[in-house]
Chains A and B, each alone.
Chain A
Amino acid sequence: MGEERKGTASTQTVTRGKQPATGAKKERGILIPPAWQTLLLPVLAVFTGLVIGAIVIVITDAAVVATYRNFFRAPGTALAATWHTIATAYGALLYGSLGNPREVYEGMRLYLSTGDNTLFLRAIWPITESLVAATPYIFGGLAVALGFRCGLFNIGAEGQLGIGALAAAWVGYSITNLPALIHLPLALLAGALGGAIWAAIPGYLKAKTGAHEVVNTIMMNWISFRLSDWLLNGPMKAPGYRPITPNIEPTAALPRFFPPPIRFHAGFFLALIVAGIVYWFLFKTTLGFEIRTVGANPDAARYAGMSITRSIMLAMVLSGALAGLAGTSQVLGVDHWVGQGFTAGYGFDSIALALLGKSHPFGVVLASLLFGTLRSGATRMQSLAGIPIDIISIIQGLVIVFIAAPAIIRWLYRIRVERAEEVVLTRGWGK
């Protein structure tokens, strides 16, 4: 992966022979250095996803399809209708997710001149909603990415996220009369710990017995779903009919920066900080070095004296903690309580985000911002342009397919790759 490369500025160049001949002719497509491909491919994947999404929007729109019956008589009408539909849909998506810079400017001016902030708040609302949606994605994506780096496929983010949320909610509502300075960190810690413990079980089984983490994390997911059903209908149930927890104390809530309805909260910044920490941990510490080595080549890790057991346990526990924080940020920042079906697939989306972000913390942040934007824009697209929200799921799905199968994108855009970089199935030396 490109991030371990230090650009081309090398301190030592021990090149033999001359510099590459200039004017070498290229065959069959463009040859792009692998480092650039890691950046380019996701961008093209997203672009292609949007293009196909547009096609789906058009062919599912009966009115537009009708204009094509008369295509030969009035091609202009058909093309205009097509363009109009796509423009309305994606325009609404854009507006719904990012807002309109002009409105922001106007609102800001009004606020500065009269002190009336209603317009300003209305203008920034879409973009803050996108950031709110991105927050749990960042934590979740980081969780799965950290596992990937150690060669672990943590499908259990969903369950860890739910347990983390419940733990955070419990600390949030059951402890009262604490100053926020203690209560909030305590609740965050509880959330992380809940996820960590949930992940530690399959982690331990993997490290000690080799039991596959995919199977065990899936089972832990089911256990967590039933456990939370029980907790929400019993021990943690708030008074009333609905199976939800009581509201957390205000002292446990992540601070918000604007009056309602803007829900933007400090969890977003926390997520960015945590992404930075994960980056530092993975790439700048000995523990991260071990985790990445175990992930890339466990035999070599063992040879070099690293403890595979320890790395797996550590990666799994940290992954769980991050997943726990994903749920926690949502509870303490947005909902303030936990109800049934709380996890809503966040954990599974996290897998996609880790893939899209190439398991790199900063890649995950970018991917999460993209998904958060699509998600929150989709709501607006539905209300403004009448495009079903599921289109976004289709686009997300396509993006994931393209990321998981980069060959499709390479083929579409004629990007050449050197064959010998492909995996060597077995090694000739020894055994």
Chain B
Amino acid sequence: MPLVLELRGITKAFPGVLANDHIDLTLEEGEIHALLGENGAGKSTLMNILYGLYQPDEGQIFLRPRNRSAIPASAASRDGLVEVKIHSPNDAIAQGIGMVHQHFMLVPPLTVAENVMLGLESTRGGIFLDQRAAAQRIREISQQYGLEVDPDAYVRDLPVGVQQRVEIIKLLYREADILILDEPTAVLTPQEVDRLFSTIKNLVKQGKSIIFITHKLREVMEIADRITVLRNGRVVGTTTPAQTTPAELAAMMVGRQVDLVVHKESLTPGEVVLEVKDLQVLDDRQHLAVNGVSFEVREREILGIAGVQGNGQTELVEALTGLRPVIAGEIRILGTPVTNANPRQILEKGVAHVPEDRQRDGLVLSRPVHDNLVLCTYYLPPFAKGINIQEDTIIATASRLVEEFDVRTPSVFVPASTLSGGNQQKVIVAREFSRPVKLIIAAQPTRGLDVGSIEYIHQRILQKRSEGTAVLLVSPELDEIIALSDRIAVMYRGRIMDIVPAKGVNREYLGLLMAGVEASEAAKVAPPTIGVEEVERVF
């Protein structure tokens, strides 16, 4: 296949970090090229350069010209490519390059059509936006590539998976030939991932080329034509799924062997730490999102909550941490009722919370890393004496945590916003896991992390369990739930369908519960437990 893009010697330094170090990369027509690498390896930076958001310090970008006859005879042409300078996203779009960011760039109060048109408003003579034509075009694109979406829906009402489709339509509307998808699957349910993959296959079949960033080795093996692995801003190697294995990829990424199997010692659970009885919670639209949920989590025990995202897990966690009112039922921590207590009262009971939306709840992006590392403890000794903040202590502690949890940052003084997505997550985990706590409530704690970091965080969770902490783990990754949990609760439409021991659990049974089949019915089809299996961490 002919090349459509070549990056040569791309180099980009940020204060204190060499994010890209002479990176070479090629992309063929109709190719799905996966970009792999640990957190902070420089994947997003490289793509931001290609998309014109950053200017490279060194290096060249060669593209296949959109209009072949326009190739100037003198142009530095190679394989039919010409060198281009991309100064802005507008340049990139003009050259047929489009990007869906790790963190979406949609305007929630606008409609799908308005979001798609944003920046290239076509007007029908005068100042009025030609919404109808845009909506029509969006429908055509939806049809052609199988991207179902209602042009008149408001973005804020759409689930993440659909928002992502809007982002992709935005690119196709701008007639992009090269699509960059930065960690598109991190926020999707398995079903949504399947849909995305069929969309992607559809796109390449119609001649588009795709650069796909992910941390999930299984996805890479499934969908990529070629794989390029970055580490410390450099290309470690390029390979194909046929020539490699997940274990080898993992080793290439982090530069050492990664233990893909979770080793869990068997422990006897102790006292009940968290007790939830007949809990009812409303969602933002005042619908019953948690509908009579009861369970308990004990010391030295991990209770995993499985289920397709959007079945009340978010609201459940928010209610448990005091962020959302409880309308009925009871929550007790170590025997004390904490129903509708405020977040601080709950924190002070010894609860750590890794929130689902890290940029919204978990971090203050504009503030330095050190402040983010004490976000929940800044008012307690040794970080404060009376009302006086002890800055030196905070900085010393933060520096220690950054090292201990291997957060890749030039220093603790940079704003959290400059950290790569995965390293932002590590800041939160470092903060929450370094406090003495009785209960950890972790919502998708490894989302967006590389395999090395996942291994590390899993070890941390298990270590906390050994120390006697109770853990409530909410994750849409069934592998993660099965690998870590002692018991698994499946949530569906605000109810817990069943709670089963994790040891030797039958995936098929869980799958049925997740799809809404009642436990008694499901057990007839598939027994809840079968033989013991080892679960690999190749999410």
Contacts and interface: CB of A to CB of B under 8 A. Distances in A.
A313 to B, nearest CB: 16
B58 A24 contact: yes
Contact of A420 (B16, B48, B155, B403): B48
B107 A289 contact: no
Contacts, number: 206
B160 A303 contact: no
B15 A286 contact: no
Contact of B58 (A1, A21, A431): A21
Give the interface residue-count category, chain A: 35 or more
Contacts of A419: 52-54, 88-89
A27 B407 CA distance: 31
Interface string B432-462: 0000000000000001000000000000000
Contact of B364 (A14, A293, A416): A293
A268 B179 CA distance: 60
A293 B447 CA distance: 25
A223 interface: no
B379 interface: yes
A292 interface: yes
Interface in B318-374: 321, 323, 342-348, 353, 355-368, 371
Contacts of B353: 303
A303 B367 contact: no
Most buried by A among B57, B102, B321: B57
A344 interface: no
B17 A16 contact: yes
A285 interface: yes
B382 interface: no
B359 A427 contact: yes
The secondary structure that dominates the A interface is loop
B107 to A, nearest CB: 5
Interface in A1-35: 1, 4-8, 10-21, 24-28, 33
Given A18-B21, A286-B387, A12 B403 contact: yes
B371 A28 contact: no
B95 interface: no
Contacts of A77: none
Contacts of B371: 4, 289
Given A300-B363, A303-B355, A427 B409 contact: no
A420 B103 contact: no
Contacts of A305: 342-348, 376
Nearest to A431: B357
Nearest to A292: B367
Interface string B373-401: 00110110000100111010001100100
A181 interface: no
A69 interface: no
B57 A24 contact: yes
A284 interface: yes
Interface residues of B, number: 89
Contact of A5 (B13, B55, B103, B368): B368
B295 interface: no
B147 interface: no
B416 to A, nearest CB: 10
A383 interface: no
A293 B17 contact: no
Interface string B40-71: 10000000100011110110000000000000
Contacts of A26: 55, 57
Given A14-B410, A299-B360, A303-B323, A284 B58 contact: no
Interface in B297-321: 314, 321
A285 B388 contact: yes
A430 interface: yes
Interface in A231-289: 283-289
Among B379, B384, B388, residue most surrounded by chain A Cβ atoms (within 10 Å): B379
Contacts of B408: 14, 16
A428 interface: yes
Given A418-B54, A429-B356, A297 B364 contact: yes
Contacts of B345: 305
Contact of B403 (A5, A7, A14, A300): A14
Contact of A28 (B87, B101, B155, B164): B87
For A15, A288, A293, which residue has the most chain B Cβ atoms within 10 angstroms?
A15
A97 B457 CA distance: 63
B357 A25 contact: no
B399 A285 contact: no
Interface in A287-338: 287-289, 292-293, 296-297, 299-307
Given A6-B413, A302-B323, A285 B104 contact: no
A25 B58 contact: yes
A378 B203 CA distance: 67
B232 interface: yes
A424 interface: yes
A353 to B, nearest CB: 22
Contacts of A18: 18, 21
Nearest to A24: B57
A284 to B, nearest CB: 5
Given A12-B399, A13-B410, A18-B21, A426 B87 contact: no
B187 A296 contact: no
B488 interface: no
Contacts of A418: 53-54
Contacts of B388: 284-286
A26 to B, nearest CB: 8
B220 interface: no
A302 to B, nearest CB: 6
30 contacts: A6-B413, A8-B411, A10-B410, A10-B413, A12-B403, A14-B409, A16-B18, A17-B19, A20-B13, A20-B57, A21-B57, A24-B13, A24-B57, A285-B387, A285-B389, A286-B378, A286-B384, A289-B379, A289-B389, A300-B363, A303-B343, A419-B53, A419-B89, A424-B103, A426-B103, A426-B104, A426-B155, A427-B104, A427-B357, A427-B359
Interface of B: 11, 13-19, 21, 40, 48, 52-55, 57-58, 85, 87-89, 101-108, 155, 160, 163-164, 186-187, 232-234, 314, 321, 323, 342-348, 353, 355-368, 371, 375-376, 378-379, 384, 387-389, 391, 395-396, 399, 402-403, 406-414, 417, 447
Interface of A: 1, 4-8, 10-21, 24-28, 33, 283-289, 292-293, 296-297, 299-307, 416, 418-421, 424-431
Given A300-B375, A305-B347, A429-B187, 7 more contacts: A16-B17, A17-B234, A21-B57, A286-B388, A428-B103, A428-B164, A429-B103
